[in-house]
Structure 1
Amino acid sequence: MNKDRTLRPRRSCLAVPGSSARFLEKAQSVPADQVFLDLEDSVAPLAKPAARDSVAEALNQGDWTDKIRVIRVNDLSTEWTYRDVITVVEQAGENLDCIMLPKVQSAAEIQWLDFLLTQIEKANGLEVGRIGIEAQIEDAKGLTHVDAIAAASPRTETIIFGPADFMASINMRSLVVGEQPPGYESDAYHHILMSILMAARANGLQAIDGPYGRVRDSDGYRRTAERSAALGFDGKWVLHPDQLDIANAVYAPSQSDYDRAELILDAYAFYTSHDGGAVGAVMLDDEMIDEASRKMALVVAAQGRAAGLSRTLAFTPPVR
């Protein structure tokens, strides 16, 4: 289990084509928690070598403020992956937070990336182990092995759902990335999302939902984001700036939920103290709270603080 890495919030994860200088520059100013510079699907084969240098230059010279900086390399079935990693990490390792590995099918692939990163870090005087790994699950084989993939390396920070390739790999009857297939009345993605979420949480990792293809359909994006947020996912990919505000809002708690969580924490701390009577279960308004309530409130409170929310309610201990 990954207990030592500090996992920053990733409510919104903006995808940026690594071969586009305009998009690389524009991405630096958008309010995304994470920006990943893509060397895979958005870059044509002939443009991949030049894109590596462009991405490294953007990492070194760009102003990314406090964004999480990630590159998505090509998958290990291609001839490009090792050179993607070596080129970018050797040139810009000090300004890189994570490497995203797509189409992961086994724990061995994550271990390969871990070993390669360690060699590059040692050879170039970089802090060993600082660069994290993000694993993207994009087919049935990867989902079948997701538990082992999530546990494969202490570098791993997130498990990501890649809907487009996944839909194609299982012959799902939909041509809209991330959309429900016509004719299926339930949620076709529930098992996939829950499997990824369980593997992530069992190993102390974040779970990130993938893109929604209709970039101008704000209602569709919000609907799919709310689905994974309700399950407990930490964030979602953003393909267009119009989706950013939706992701940042959906994956942060509401003001009322945040206030309630802070009240529960304060009330529980008081009632379990000597002054509060040292009791383990009490009523807060019309709700019983106990240790389980405290754990649930901790999650929501942490999310609200990370989103920059401020309390609007305060707990007042009863007069005894």
Structure 2
Amino acid sequence: MRPRRSVLYLPGANERALKKAEALAADALVLDLEDAVAPDAKEAARRRVCETVAAAPYGRREVAVRVNGIDTQWHDADVRAVAEVGPDAVVVPKMGSAEDVRRVEDALAEAGAPDHTSVWAMIETPAAVLRAEEIANASSTLTVLVMGTNDLAKELRAESVPGRAPLLTSLSLCLLAARAAGKSILDGVYNDVRDTAGFEAECVQARQLGFDGKSLIHPGQLEPCNRVFAPSEAEVEHARRVVAAFEEAVAQGRGVITVDGRMVENLHVEQARRVLALAEAVRDRPERD
């Protein structure tokens, strides 16, 4: 299991930020060629990001590159350049259909991208939300859906309010699509980097909904995000008791077991084993590589 609790965007044009990320406790890094880069800096940022990926300075962290959108003048050159250096993933904004996914997949293959380079599709429009199942099932190369909540809220003309009621339908539809297709899914960014309480509350909400992690815009958001999306000690201990009780029952030929006064079924055992696998994966990741 590869944890994706915290996925931090880094501006591709900012050499200092790319260097600083070597010491940050993010599960994954997205080197950004899109929103964080001004038009006149696109080509320089592309060169810098590709050089960084090729140098592999980030240890065991998952490294992705966000290219410019399919409908932009920079997209094709971004994909060709990124394919040559082979990051773990290519993040593509404003994916709107299965055809978009296959177009990116074909372009990466044509440019010689290695097999380990997957596609992450950003869901940022009402049309994409309504086609989320189609997008998620478009290709085995696509492994992650990423919610682009800022653009989505703009397209919906939704207000930004605590609890995100205007976005919950979209978030849930995309979560359903990801799980039905067996893909991971990341929540969108939280814009107010000074509002630590609001950010943590949104992390808790995302985890309760079922998201694997959250995309971030500031290193100060890493600690609460990693903590919230990791199993707590109490959850790990309960999971161990569930698995142990189940294995004992199987050995004794018993079909019904209880843990802490509650009946345990196979689905609870599967959930417990997933908690333990995630806890082990998180434990294996040092705070800094």
What is the TM-score normalised by the length of structure 1? 0.85
**Partner residue, 2:219:** 241
**2:94 counterpart (89, 103, 122):** 103
**Partner residue, 2:198:** 220
> Counterparts in 2 of 1:140-289, with a 5 A limit?
140-174=126-160, 179-180=161-162, 187-273=165-251, 276=252, 278-289=253-264
C-alpha displacement of 1:187: 2.2
Give the Cα separation in 2 of the matches to 1:225 and 1:9.
15
Give the Cα separation in 2 of the matches to 1:280 and 1:304.
28
C-alpha displacement of 1:27: 1.1
> Counterparts in 2 of 1:292-303, with a 5 A limit?
292-303=267-278
SS for the counterpart of 2:263 is strand
* 1:303 aligned partner, one-letter code: L
Indicate yes or no: 2:58 matched with 1:80: no
Contact 1:25–1:62 (8 Å) recurs in 2 = no
5+ residue gaps, structure 2: 285-289
C-alpha displacement of 1:135: 0.6
> Counterparts in 2 of 1:48-59, with a 5 A limit?
48-59=42-53
* 2:263 aligned partner, one-letter code: M
Contact 2:159–2:166 (8 Å) recurs in 1 = no
Give the Cα separation in 1 of the matches to 2:186 and 2:231.
16
Give the Cα separation in 2 of the matches to 1:43 and 1:98.
19
Indicate yes or no: 2:36 matched with 1:42: yes
Give the Cα separation in 2 of the matches to 1:217 and 1:305.
31
Contact 2:122–2:147 (8 Å) recurs in 1 = yes
Give the Cα separation in 2 of the matches to 1:225 and 1:290.
29
**Partner residue, 1:317:** none
- Rg comparison, structure with higher value: 1
**Partner residue, 2:279:** 304
C-alpha displacement of 1:285: 3.2
Percent of residue pairs identical: 33
**Partner residue, 2:287:** none
Indicate yes or no: 2:116 matched with 1:130: yes
Aligned length: 284
Give the Cα separation in 1 of the matches to 2:219 and 2:185.
21
Bigger RCO of structures 1 and 2 (CA < 8 A, at least 6 apart): 2
**1:119 counterpart (75, 87, 110):** 110
Deviates more, 1:283-292 or 1:257-266: 283-292
Give the Cα separation in 2 of the matches to 1:130 and 1:192.
30
Contact 1:193–1:228 (8 Å) recurs in 2 = no
Give the Cα separation in 2 of the matches to 1:263 and 1:63.
40
**Partner residue, 1:3:** none
Q: Deviation digits for residues 296-320 of structure 1, max 9, x if unmatched?
A: 21222222222219xxxxxxxxxxx
Moved over 6 A (4+): none
More helix by share: 2
C-alpha displacement of 1:166: 0.5
Q: Deviation digits for residues 74-114 of structure 1, max 9, x if unmatched?
A: 11111111110101222x12xx1000011111111110011
Q: Deviation digits for residues 142-201 of structure 1, max 9, x if unmatched?
A: 101000000011111111111111011111123xxxx44xxxx87222211111111111
* Cα RMSD (Å): 1.5
